[in-house]
Amino acid sequence: MAREAVKIEFTDSDGDGDPRRYTIASSATITKGGFLVLSDPRTAAAQAADGALIAGFASMDKIADYSTTISAWTDGIFKVTASGAIPVGALLSAASPGNYVKQVTAAELTVASLAKVIGYALETAAADETFAMRLNL
């Protein structure tokens, strides 16, 4: 996949991006920096849909038929790709196709959907432009 998030810096107190471990299908192939979608029970998969619940950004490559766990970065500053225009300070959510971010919609700001907010823009971006975002899950 393309457009993976690229780490600029970790902002958590111990400087490791606060990785969290998730179950993942053995057959899944994920590239480091790929957006991971969260499902129940504490399972991750490659993100493809708009407004998906994001578990974090893959902290490692995962090859098919090798492992059934993966860790995801949940805190830091990352270079990501914009789906549409995004102003500095805008709240962000995942966009399709996978590994894009977009400005959150009004529907994603409801209490039931607040988990879809993955961070905010540190720079203004045009469509398909890479820019810095603060990931905060």
What is residue 114's predicted lDDT score, i.e. its pLDDT? 82
Give yes or no: residues 30 and 84 share one domain: no
Nearest to 136 by CA among 112, 125, 120: 120
Examine residue 1 and state whether it is found in any structural domain, yes or no.
no
What is residue 66's predicted lDDT score, i.e. its pLDDT? 85
Domain that holds residue 86: 76-136
Q: What is the pLDDT of residues 24-61, one digit of tens each?
A: 999 999 999 999 999 999 999 999 888 889 999 999 99
CATH number for 94: 2.40.340.10
Q: What is the pLDDT of residues 68-91, one digit of tens each?
A: 999 999 999 999 999 999 999 999
Q: What is the pTM of this model?
A: 0.94
Give yes or no: residues 57 and 42 share one domain: yes
- Domain count for the chain: 2
